[in-house]
Each structure stands twice: as structure tokens, then as C-alpha cells.
């Protein structure tokens, strides 16, 4: 009787084994594994966005200014007016090895990173201080932060306001008068930029066109004797432009004179007095006297400046609009170039090419191209597009500009073409996979109704393959938006003097160099002389770039889903 349960146990184990095997064969474990992988990828992406946002976005918040005394043991106290940036726990042994006199009975100490500003007075605007040596802390409401065009921020106290060298207000009245005069200075700055970059830029462009047209006549063998009318027309155009330039130059002198009228007299926390013209001040505020809503307003104002203004102070101040513009324009040009070639290549491989060894070798080569390091594409673009194609274009169509190259130098056109070749395999593979999913019966039905093969491809096959085509294109855009290495060889620069798109004919200047968000991150992060000032801007720019790429991918999913709904036969 005791031996009877054993066969039942073995039977149950066999059933369980069969059940597990059946469950594995059903594919459900792989579905859950895929879902887990997607969840992990989504969590990592969100965590990356949160990290970059947490490190970059607080940079624009108007933090309070701490007034205190910093006193090291056995030394005189030093006056301090600074913004607390961050703090960290540091081991006592490490601080002692750095030369600080500390009691080693305490294993760790808190070290603060503070922004003291006043780089022109102190040499550096960031310092590391021991928290326990910061004494007599207070937050005076009259402490002033001035964001300057040069030398970074100034931290101090406003003493007086001068007009043409004479004091017109002092104390609290000076601060009230400053706000209105700063708005006046901002208006003058805006007019100055409009004239210098807009009107004078157009005149300089026109003068350069006159010079090149004159040189073209000379190269054609035309002189002032046998082509007097052409030369007279150019001379008249040049005289008109010179007169316009003189008129604008006079206005520039007037604006600069008006900007030099007002100046602020300020005093640092250690008693040093400094006079700063309003022409060199971008913004001024009293953070300790501001309420929450006032700080929120200033925060969004600085955020808007970050995405809409030009950079200054070696790209560590101001905005990144030229980099955003250059990135978007380059990606759009790349999309225009890569889409037709990628689709046509996929159509030929899937619909026209004879399926055999050669076609398989081509497919293998296309797949392998996706794994080639991007810097190799940059070297190819530099050698083929810039030096060969661009140099040939200069010889044929821009001989009057030589030896100065027009297209024979890195520019946004060559950068777009280089990235088009880099992302071409993605578009080809995605499009070919989409074409392979179209049932053969639909092609045969179209042909049976009298349509030609070309009409079948254009009106039946391509529309139904459009979800895969769009997904491949957007993935290519997402990759191109983040590439940096090849762009360093074929057109991207630290600071572009003018945008590739402006109001001068032919309006789109494909030969110009441009700024790029990815390269801007590299430049600010690794080439900036002021590391602490650059660090939050690296995170803020990275956050913007990652956000753009995420939005592109979300857009790809939505477009794909809409197209799938429109062509439901794809699921058949």
C-alpha cells in the first residue's frame, strides 16, 4: 500500500514538463522577454532625460546670493558673495593631501562649489570651499547679479547710476532708474544687431557680388573699352552700396554713442569699486528680493534666450539657436537626398534585380555599410565631395572666386550628402522589408486588371510599403541628428558668422559652414576654458538634443500606425 503514490507523482511531473514545453513552443515567453526589453529601454531613455534635465535646467534658475565670511584656521576672514551651486562629501585625507589644515578625527567634510562671479577681479568665478568655514551667513536683498557680455556674471552691490560721466541716481533710486535704462540699452542693442547682421551684412554680400562680377568680366577678356556698359552698371551698383554703407555707418556711430551714455557704479563684497557701461550688460536682477513668480518669469525668460539667442563667451553664455537651426536644416537636406536614392535602390533590389549571388552580395554589402564607423564616412565626404566634386564645381562655375574656394571647402551641402550616404543602408533595408511584406496576389491582381508594372509599383506597392519607408526615414533622421565625428571634417564649426539661410539671393547658401547641436556639446564640454560654467550647458544642450531625437521616434511610430490603418491589407 505504501508504494502506490509513486506512479501518480511521476505522471504529474510528466504533465508539467509537457505543459512547460507547450508554453515555450507557443512563443509567449519570447513575447514577455521582448516586452521586458522594451520596458528597460524605455526606462533608460526616461532616466537619461531626467538626468540631463536635472543637471542642466537648474542652471537657468535665478539662485539666491549668499553673503558670508570664509575663514580658514589661522587666516584672516575673506568676504564672500556667491551662489551655492552644489555640495559633496569629501574624505578628510583627501582634503589634507590638498594642503588644508583639518582635524583628522572627522572622516568626511562637506565641500561646496560656489559661483563668486567677478572673473575680471578674482581671476576665476568658481571656487571650492569647506562648508564649515563659511561663517556669518546672510542673504541681503540689495545684492545684485549682472549678466555681462564679457567676463561672466558680476556679484556685488549697486552704488550709483551715471549718465555721461555724472551721477544721476544713487542707492535704491539707482536700481529703479537702472531698470528703465537697461530696457533702452536692450532696444539699442537689438537695433545694432539688426544693422550689423542684417543691413550691413546684405551690403557686404552685394559688394562681394559686384567684385566677383567684375572679376568674371576680366576673366572673359572684357575690358572697360569693349564692355563699358557692363562696367558702368557695376560701378553704379557699387556706388549705391557704398552710399548705403556710409548711411548705416553713421547710424552705428550714433547708436554706440547712445549706448556709451549710461554706466553703473558697483562695489564688490570686498570693497572693490567697478564701473560697467550698460552696453556691456545683458541682464541685471536682485535674486534675494525676488518672489517665486518673479523668479519663474526670469527662469522662462532665460530658457527662451537659451533656445533663441546666439552664443557668447566661448559658447558658455547666451543661446544655441544657430546650432538648432543648423541641425534641423542639415537633417532636412539629408532627408531630401537619402529618401529617393534609398527607395529606388530598394525597389531595384526587390522588384527588378535578378535574385542570385550578385544580389545577395549587394545586400550583404549594404548591411555591412551600416556598421562602418562614421568617421570613415567623414573622410570619404572630405575627399570625394569637398575636394573632388566641390573643387571641380569651383573650376567650372566659380573661377572668379579662386583661389578662395566656394564649394571646394566644407559646408552644409557636403555634410548633408555625407550623412545621406551614412544613413542610406537604414532606408534601403527598411524599404526592402516593407516591399517584401506586400502579398504577391495584390501585384498579380493589379497586373490582371491591365496595369503596367510601373503603375502597380507606384499605385499599389509603394503606398502599402510606406509605413516601413517612413519608419526607416525617421530612424535615419534620428541617427543623423546625433552624429558628430563626420561633421567635424565636412562643414561644422564652433561659431558660424551667418546662417545658411538668409534674405540674400539665392537665399539658401549651401556652401556655408554651420553649427550643430552635437558638435556644440563636444565643444562646450571638452574645449571650454571655463569647465564649471560649461558643465550645466552641456547637460541642457544634451537634454534638448535627446528630446528632439525622442520626439522624432515618437513621430515615426504615430506616422507608421496611421499608415498601417490606412493600408490594412499589409496585415493580411
Mapped to the 3 state alphabet, what secondary structure does 473-512 carry?
Answer: HHHHHHHHHHCCCCHHHHCECCCCCCCCECCCCCCECCCC
Q: In the prediction, which pLDDT does 179 show?
A: 86
Q: In the prediction, which pLDDT does 570 show?
A: 44
What is the rounded CA–CA span in Å between residue 161 and residue 170? Answer: 6
Q: In the prediction, which pLDDT does 300 show?
A: 94
pTM for this predicted structure: 0.87
Q: In the prediction, which pLDDT does 572 show?
A: 47
Mean pLDDT by groups of 10 residues along the chain of 572 residues: 49 67 77 91 87 90 93 88 91 84 82 91 89 92 92 92 90 88 90 88 90 88 84 91 92 91 92 91 93 94 91 84 90 90 89 85 86 91 94 91 90 94 91 85 85 85 83 83 90 87 86 91 86 88 83 74 67 46
Q: In the prediction, which pLDDT does 298 show?
A: 94
Q: In the prediction, which pLDDT does 210 show?
A: 92
Report yes or no: 381 and 418 within 8 Å, Cβ to Cβ: yes
Q: In the prediction, which pLDDT does 15 show?
A: 66
Residue 89 CA to its chain's centroid (Å): 33
What is the rounded CA–CA span in Å between residue 330 and residue 552? Answer: 15
pLDDT tens digits, 19-59: 777 777 777 888 888 999 999 998 988 888 888 899 899 99
List, in sequence order, every beta strand (DSSP E) within 120-213: 126-130, 134-138, 143-148, 153-163, 166-170
Amino acid at each position: 500500500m505504501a508504494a502506490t503514490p509513486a506512479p501518480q507523482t511521476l505522471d504529474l511531473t510528466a504533465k508539467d514538463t509537457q505543459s512547460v514545453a507547450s508554453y515555450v513552443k507557443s512563443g509567449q515567453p519570447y513575447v514577455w522577454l521582448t516586452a521586458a526589453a522594451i520596458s528597460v529601454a524605455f526606462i533608460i531613455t526616461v532616466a537619461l532625460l531626467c538626468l540631463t534635465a536635472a543637471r542642466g535646467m537648474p542652471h537657468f534658475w535665478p539662485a539666491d546670493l549668499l553673503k558670508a565670511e570664509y575663514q580658514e584656521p589661522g587666516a584672516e576672514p575673506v568676504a564672500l558673495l556667491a551662489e551655492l551651486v552644489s555640495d559633496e562629501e569629501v574624505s578628510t585625507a583627501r582634503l589634507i593631501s590638498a594642503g588644508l589644515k583639518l582635524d583628522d578625527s572627522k572622516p568626511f567634510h562637506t565641500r561646496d562649489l560656489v559661483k563668486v562671479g567677478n572673473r575680471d577681479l578674482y581671476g576665476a568665478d568658481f571656487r571650492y570651499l569647506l562648508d564649515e568655514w563659511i561663517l556669518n551667513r546672510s542673504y541681503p536683498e540689495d545684492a545684485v547679479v549682472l549678466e555681462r557680455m564679457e567676463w561672466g556674471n558680476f556679484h556685488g552691490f549697486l552704488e550709483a547710476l551715471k549718465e555721461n560721466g555724472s551721477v544721476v541716481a544713487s542707492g535704491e533710486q539707482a536700481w529703479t532708474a537702472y531698470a528703465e535704462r537697461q530696457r533702452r540699452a536692450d532696444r539699442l542693442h537689438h537695433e545694432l544687431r539688426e544693422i550689423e547682421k542684417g543691413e550691413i551684412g546684405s551690403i557686404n554680400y552685394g559688394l562681394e557680388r559686384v567684385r566677383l562680377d567684375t572679376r568674371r568680366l576680366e576673366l572673359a577678356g572684357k575690358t572697360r573699352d569693349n564692355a563699358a556698359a557692363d562696367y558702368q552698371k557695376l560701378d553704379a551698383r557699387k556706388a549705391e552700396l557704398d552710399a548705403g554703407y556710409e548711411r548705416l555707418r553713421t547710424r552705428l556711430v550714433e547708436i554706440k554713442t547712445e549706448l556709451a551714455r549710461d554706466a553703473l557704479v558697483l562695489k564688490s563684497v570686498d570693497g572693490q569699486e567697478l564701473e560697467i557701461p550698460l552696453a556691456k550688460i545683458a541682464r541685471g536682477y536682485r535674486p534675494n528680493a525676488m518672489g517665486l513668480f518673479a523668479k519663474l518669469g526670469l527662469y522662462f525668460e532665460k530658457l527662451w534666450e537659451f533656445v533663441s539667442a546666439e552664443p557668447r563667451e566661448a559658447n558658455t553664455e547666451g543661446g544655441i539657436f544657430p546650432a538648432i537651426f543648423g541641425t534641423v536644416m542639415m537633417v532636412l537636406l539629408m532627408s531630401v537626398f537619402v529618401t529617393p536614392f534609398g527607395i529606388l535602390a530598394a525597389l531595384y533590389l526587390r522588384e527588378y534585380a535578378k535574385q542570385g549571388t550578385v544580389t545577395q552580395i549587394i545586400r550583404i554589402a549594404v548591411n555591412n555599410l551600416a556598421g562602418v564607423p562614421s568617421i570613415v564616412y567623414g573622410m570619404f565626404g572630405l575627399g570625394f565631395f569637398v575636394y573632388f566634386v566641390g573643387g571641380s564645381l569651383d573650376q567650372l562655375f566659380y573661377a572668379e572666386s579662386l583661389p578662395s574656394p566656394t564649394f571646394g571647402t566644407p559646408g552644409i551641402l557636403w555634410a548633408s550628402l555625407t550623412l545621406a550616404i551614412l544613413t542610406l543602408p537604414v532606408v534601403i533595408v527598411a524599404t526592402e522589408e516593407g516591399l517584401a511584406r506586400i502579398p504577391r496576389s495584390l501585384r498579380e491582381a493589379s497586373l490582371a486588371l491591365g496595369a503596367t508594372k510601373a503603375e502597380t509599383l507606384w499605385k499599389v506597392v509603394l503606398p502599402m510599403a510606406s509605413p516601413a519607408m517612413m519608419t526607416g526615414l525617421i530612424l535615419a533622421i534620428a541617427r543623423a541628428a546625433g552624429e558628430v565625428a563626420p561633421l567635424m571634417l565636412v562643414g561644422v564649426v564652433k561659431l558660424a558668422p551667418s546662417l545658411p539661410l538668409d534674405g540674400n539671393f539665392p537665399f539658401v547658401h549651401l556652401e556655408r559652414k554651420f553649427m550643430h547641436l552635437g558638435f556644440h556639446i563636444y565643444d562646450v564640454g571638452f574645449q571650454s576654458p571655463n569647465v564649471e560654467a560649461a558643465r550645466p550647458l552641456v547637460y541642457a544642450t544634451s537634454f534638448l538634443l535627446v528630446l528632439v531625437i525622442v520626439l522624432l521616434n515618437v513621430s515615426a511610430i504615430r506616422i507608421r500606425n496611421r499608415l498601417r490603418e490606412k493600408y490594412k491589407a499589409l496585415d493580411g
